[in-house]
Amino acid sequence: MLCLPFVTNALPNSKLIEQQDGTKPDPEKAKQRRKRRDDLRKQKATEVEIKHELPEAERHCPTCPNQNLKFAGQKKNKLWEFVPAHFEFQIHIQDTWACPCCDYVVSAPGADRPTEGGQYGSGFMSHVVVSKCTDSIPLYRMEKQFERMGIPMARSTLCDLFHQAAGILEPLYRAMQLFVLNSLLVLADETPLPVLDKDKTRKGYIWTFLTDDVAYYRFSPTRSGSTPEEVLGDSVGTLLVDGYTGYNSVTTLEGRDRSGCWAHVRRKFFDAQKTAPPEAKHMLAEILELYRIEYEAVQRDLIGKPIHTQLRQQRASPILGRIQIWLEEQRPLHLPKSPFGQAITYTLNQWKYLLHYLSDGNIPIDNNLSERRLRIIALGRKNYLFAGNDAAAQNLAILQSIVVTCEMHGVNPETYLTDVLNRVQKHQNSQITDLLPHRWKELFAPQIPNSLFERV
């Protein structure tokens, strides 16, 4: 389900469009970006001075007999070094006070724990979650890493911590679905995820439903339309998806308006170049003109503004009319089962949905943004291969939702989880949305010393 990277109104710096458009990246912007990164590294890294002294025996001049060297100053050289992470075995000691006249006893507050009586802290639990969900490191590889650090850690323990974190964060996950239901624009897509079943694996699916605020993932044993129904219900707005019929049940007159994806159309004509090179290249050139309009809107900072809608209607509408006429003329000239014939059929069947983006500048021209959010699932699939069962796959979806939403808002997921795993169970359920990453960043992150949630 993953398409070639292409410009959208969420990607203002598409290298592909820059190359095709004949323009070059701005060197001044690149210089500023490097400076921001250097400044952030210097701000966050611990500065350590290491003094190198000349041995006493070498403080004599080899050319002037009996002449001792005199101190002439210092040279400073900078070196970035990595100090491996380490474990801490913390012993928390609580003072206890008692009244000499009665049975009243009080103790100092103890350490916050993600689970009652648990012996692993939120920092360790968050590291396990982020290592798997962000870095796609399987648990057995984490086990080997900890072994090298001299801390034997059973894989079963890591597995338990991973699933415990999903259980603790489930209230946040349910709150994220409410954001999806109430969003006027949702981008959705799905990708396979194998699930272990007796002696073999069976195919399951991870779906993503993307809004401006959250990236909501949901596991389903099948690819049926029941998952979009469960997630989106009878909500209204726009749903941007590909041509898969599983979304038909929620894109009805009473439900959401369906918007098509031009990146999927482009991919089909790109694949048809082998059998119909001139026609496919002609169509790719026409699609490129549509994307040039979007690229111009990005450069002029028009995304989502009324003038963006006007720009589409004035300049993209004639191109789309020309494409439709040309495709109708080409349809009888190609075999329906040929790659080019299939590309024509797909495009014309989706035509009314492909025109929908003209009505609103907030609607992207393609669904690439949600597809990119599924790449982490595809990468993880290559590493950890499968989920142990349906419940484990859904726990992965819960934690992936939290971690990817953190990344969307420039929040360090490890810092976030270390705080929220301790905070969520004591937080009022009526205000649980305050702990979602984009709100946590404003409300709680400034209170955390040495917070590292800025995105480089």
The pLDDT of residue 2 is above 70 = no
Q: Is the pLDDT of residue 131 over 70?
A: yes
Amino acid at 437: P
> Residue written as tokens 């589409």?
312
* Segment 155-181, tens digit of pLDDT: 999 999 999 999 999 999 999 999 999
Structure tokens at 270: 């790109």
Most confident of 95-99, 240-244, 451-455: 240-244
Residue 449 has what pLDDT? 62
Token output for 307: 């003038």
How far apart are the C-alpha atoms of 113 and 444, rounded to whole Å? Answer: 18
Q: What's the distance, Cα to Cα, between the start and end of the chain in Å? A: 29
Buried-exposed string 387-409: b where 16+ CB fall within 10 A, e elsewhere: beebebbbbbbbbbbbbbbbbbb
* CA pair distance 158, 170, nearest whole angstrom: 19
**To 5 degrees, how large is the angle CA 190–CA 230–CA 135?**
40
Residue 143, pLDDT score: 93
Task: Please state the rounded mean pLDDT for residues 353-369.
Answer: 94
Q: List for the chain the helix, strand, coil content (%; round to 5).
A: 55, 10, 35
Q: How many residues does the chain have?
A: 456
Element (DSSP H or E) covering residue 412? none
Q: Residue 97 has what DSSP assignment?
A: E
Give pLDDT, residue 5.
35
CA distances 96 to 90, 108, 255, 386, Å, are: 19, 6, 60, 49
The 3-state DSSP class for residue 366 equals coil
Backbone region of residue 136 per phi and psi (left: phi > 0; alpha: psi in -120 to 50; beta: other values): left
List, in sequence order, every residue forming a beta bridge with 206; answer none if it has no partner.
191, 219
Binning pLDDT at 50, 70 and 90, where does residue 23 land? low
Indicate if the pLDDT at residue 118 is higher than 90: no
| DSSP per position, 122-164 | HHHHHHHHHHHHTT---HHHHHHHHHHTT----HHHHHHHHHH
Residue 131 to residue 122: CA distance in whole angstroms: 14
pLDDT tier at 36, thresholds 50, 70, 90: confident
- Domain residue ranges in the chain: 261-366
Position 73 scores a pLDDT of: 85
Which two structure tokens, joined as six digits, stand for 156? Answer: 């079963």
Distance CA 394, CA 383 (A): 18
Distance CA 453, CA 407 (A): 9
Residues 6+ apart with CB under 8 A from 11: 5, 298, 368, 369
Asked if pLDDT for residue 7 goes beyond 60, the answer is no
CA distance 449 to 447: 6
Q: Alpha helices, DSSP H only, in 51-210?
A: 122-133, 139-148, 155-182
| pLDDT computed for residue 92 by the predictor | 86
Decide if pLDDT at 185 tops 50.
yes
The whole-angstrom distance between residue 66's C-alpha and the CA centroid of its chain comes to 68
